[in-house]
Amino acid sequence: MQLWFFRFLVNAAGYASFMVPGYLMVQYFRRKNYLETGRGLCFPLVKTCVFGNEPKASDEVPLASRTEPAETTPTWQALKLLFCAAGLQVSYLTWGVLQERVMTRSYGATATSPGERFTDSQFLVLMNRVLALIVAGLYCILCKQPRHGAPMYRYSFASLSNVLSSWCQYEALKFVSFPTQVLAKASKVIPVMLMGRLVSRRSYEHWEYLTAGLISIGVSMFLLSSGPEPRSSPATMLSGLILLAGYIAFDSFTSNWQDALFACKMSSVQMMFGVNLFSCLFTMGSLLEQGALLEGTRFMGRHSEFAAHALLLSVCSACGQLFIFYTIGQFGAAMFTIIMTLRQAFAILLSCLLYGHTITVVGGLGVAVVFAALLLRVYARGRLKQRVKKAVPVESPVQKV
């Protein structure tokens, strides 16, 4: 347990060594009112990073392809939905299988040698972010985007939490099984509701408490009844659960910070580019400080199979993000949630088939309870939105002459 915690502290210190001086510099420029007094070649860069750009009336462009689509036939809509569902399933099922393969299996094993395992999760995070940055950059160049107005430094906070959540996610697979990890992600709604109740004083409907309770019951049934993994012990299980808790906490902060950033009128792909830009800077700098970048590159050179897996893993992650934006833009968040909930169920099944995880009957029933509760949440939320729309009083139409 101490080893992964030490690695976490080292990585966090590496990110802080870049973020803290940058943040202090931002505050310095703000106090000096550099926006009004600054001049020279560096002024545009400082203005963009620290202050952002003022929106112009001529730059008002729809943020995403959320405009009402033209009249299409039901067959065409069904084909588009099938395309989105297939793209999400293929991207993230492949990503899940490769993630477990890279973090839990050896490379270069022979009859006389057990091979070696890849252990540096941060190197994988860097590869994922570099490819996502390239994909987002090309998309921004090829497709017209709204004028970017947010100060660039504000992406760094979401980037930091995003990198740490990804690191926790990869590291957790060293201690817990992939099905356990998937169920932990599915139960993220519970801490979100708790934080909303304690911090924001939010109130929730009865069905939200019911589904949260069902999710907790299902996860408990799975964890308490499933057979132990060959490499598991109480200590390793505790380490895995702590890492999963870290993943959920950092991921929740990332999504909330991004929601606040969207108030600056940007597109989802611009958000993807900004977050991944700082993520690349953080992980690259930390790897260079630790001397781990060269070791990860050497591992890729020794094992071409790992290089192929890491590249395909990054491609699936980047393409999956684009499919997320397109699916939500075309069919809404509810349909996207249903597709991803089914994807999580398929991921558990696929992992058990490929890597031999054992799930008891009670554990399987717990999995079914979790996903039934998630689908119930989607259904109840959809009905609630329909009820609200019907309850809104419609003003009497005014005769226009």
- Residue-wise pLDDT tens digits, 160-199: 888 999 999 999 888 888 888 888 777 777 766 776 676 5
- Write down the pLDDT at residue 23: 59
Q: How many Cα neighbours within 13 Å face the side chain of 132?
A: 29
pLDDT of residue 120 exceeding 80, the answer is yes
pLDDT 10s digits, 72-85: 678 888 899 899 99
Give the global pTM. 0.75
Distance, CA of 366 to CA of 160 (rounded, Å): 34
Tokens representing 305?
């199979």
Please check whether residue 278 is in contact with residue 155, taking contact to mean a CB–CB distance below 8 angstroms: yes
Domain parsing of the chain, residue ranges: 2-49+121-390
Length of the chain in terms of residues written: 401
Is residue 53 a contact partner of residue 149, using CB atoms and an 8 Å limit?
yes
pLDDT at 389 over 50: yes
From the number of C-beta atoms within 10 Å of its C-beta (0-12, 13-18, 19+), residue 363 rates as: buried
The token duo for 30 is 């703000």
Residues contacting 251, CB < 8 A, separation 6+: 161, 162, 165, 188
User: How many C-beta atoms surround the C-beta of residue 400 within 10 A?
Assistant: 4
Between these two residues, 60 and 248, which has the higher pLDDT value?
A: 248
Would you state the pLDDT for residue 213? 83
